[in-house]
Amino acid sequence: MKTGQFGIDDTPVFVIDQSRCIGCEACVQACAECGTHRGQSLIHLERVDRAASTQTAPMVCMHCEDPTCAQVCPADAIKQTEEGIVQSALKPRCIGCSNCVLACPFGVPKYVAEFDQMMKCDMCTDRTAEGLTPMCASVCPSEALWYGTIEQFRDTRRGTLFRDFLFGRQQVRTKVYTVIDDALAGPLDVLADGRRSWLDDPFGLEETVPR
């Protein structure tokens, strides 16, 4: 996975396909086993609305090209590596104000009250530096979290890799990719309404969605 046989860009990329998440929490459990923040899980996983659906929302740091979190940090504690990884707050600098927690459009950084610090996913720098897959993408049973080359993705998965998001008027490009079917329809508008499907009436009680 590291060296290019034919000189193609084979740097692995991180892909999150939220739609495939089964909510098992393997990622949450594995994240806490990561060497740089043992015992502290930094990935997010929510039930979107358990009363209505089993859908779950996993979220890793998307590593924005121009990270909002870093720009709103009063302590200048959030740095980006040359590879575009937006790192967890520098421990000596972070003053625990939570600006990043509140401003991140993806809702990623966590404020850890015990340490008075922000902590966030850094795509397992300790593992990727050694050519290993990040913990969450290693274990994810449904491959909702995936790590590999763009080539490998195209060979084995349907959908298009995509990394432009729209939050109101703000467009954000990220290092981490998501997957969509209709890349030509423009950035992923986070505020767009979801479609209706059979899931609105799985047991045929309302008969609004004939099947």
Partner 1 sequence: MNRLDRRGLTWGAVGVAVVIALTFIGSDQLVWFDAALVGYLFGVVFAVFGVAYRYAVWLRRPPTAMLNRRGWDAFRQRKARNAAALPSLVATQLLAQGFIRRRSRARWIAHQLVFWGCILAGLVTIPLTLGLLHFESVGQQADHYQVYVSRVGTLKFDAESIVGWFMFHALDVAAVLVLGGVFIFLRRRLRDPGALAVERSGDFLALAGLFAVSVSGLFLTVSSMWLEGRFYSALNTLHALTVILGLMYLPFGKLFHIFQRPGNLGVAYYKQANADGPAAVCRRCGDTFASAQQISDLKDVLPQVGFDYSIDGGGNYQDTCPRCRRAQVTLAQSARVGGFG
Partner 2 sequence: MARPPLTDDELIARYGPHLNEAPPGGWNAGIEVDRVVKTHCCFCGQQCGIKLKVHDNAVVGFEPWYEFPFNEGKLCPKGVKRYLQGSHPDRLLHPMERDPAAPGGFRQTSWDHALERVVAEIRRIQAEHGDDAFAMLSGVSLTNEKSYLVGKFARLALHTANLDYNGRFCMVSAGTGNKKALGIDRAPNPWSDIPLADVVWVAGANVAETFPITTSYIWRARDRGAKLIVQDPRVVPLARTADLFLPVRPGTDSALFGAVLHVLIERGWLDHEFIDAHTVGFDEAAAAVADMTPAWAADITGVPAARIEEAAEWWGTAATGMMLHARGIEQHTKGVDNVLAAINLGLATGKFGKPGCGVSTITGQGNGQGGREHGHKCDQLPGNRDISNPDHRAAVAAVWGCDEADIPGKGMPAEEIIEAIHDGRIKGLLSICFNPLVSAPDANFTREALDKLEFYTVIDFFLSESAQHADVVLPGSLHEEDEGTSTSGEGRIIKINAAVTPPGEARRDWEILVDIARRLGKGDLFSYANTEQIFDELCRASHGGTADYTGATWQRIEDEMGLFWPIPEPGHPGTPRLHEGGRFAHPDGKARFHPVPFKPSAEVVDDDYPLLLTTGRVVSQYLSGTQTRRIAALVAQYPRPLCEMHPRLADTIGVVDGDLVTVTSRRGSMTLPAHVVTTIRPDTVFIPYHWPGAQAANQLTNRAVDPLAKMPEFKVTAVRVERAGGRGATTDTRDLGLHEASS
Nearer to partner 2, 13 or 45 (CB): 45
Secondary structure of 91-159 in HEC code, one letter for each residue: CCCCCCCCHHHHHCCCCCCEEECCCCEEECCCCCHHHHCCCCCCHHHHHCCCCCEEEECHHHHHHHCCC
19 binds partner 2 per the rule CB under 8 A:
yes
**Minimum distance of partner 1 from residue 98's CB (angstroms):** 7
> Rule CB under 8 A: which of 148-207 touch partner 2?
156-158, 198-199, 202-205
Bin 8: left if φ > 0, else alpha if -120 < ψ < 50, else beta.
beta
Residue 28 interacts, among partner 2, partner 1, none and using kind-specific CB cut-offs from 5 to 8 Å, with partner 2
Nearer to partner 1, 106 or 153 (CB): 106
The site map against partner 2 for 76-115 (x = CB under 8 A) is: ----------------------x--xx----x--xxxx--
Give CA torsion, residues 195, 17, 5, 123, to 10 deg. Answer: 140
Q: CA-to-CA distance for 75 and 95, rounded, in angstroms?
A: 7
Tokens matching residue 191 = 């505020």
Binding site for partner 2 (CB under 8 A): 19-20, 22-26, 28-30, 32-33, 35, 38-40, 44-47, 50-56, 98, 101-102, 107, 110-113, 133, 135, 138-143, 156-158, 198-199, 202-205, 210-211
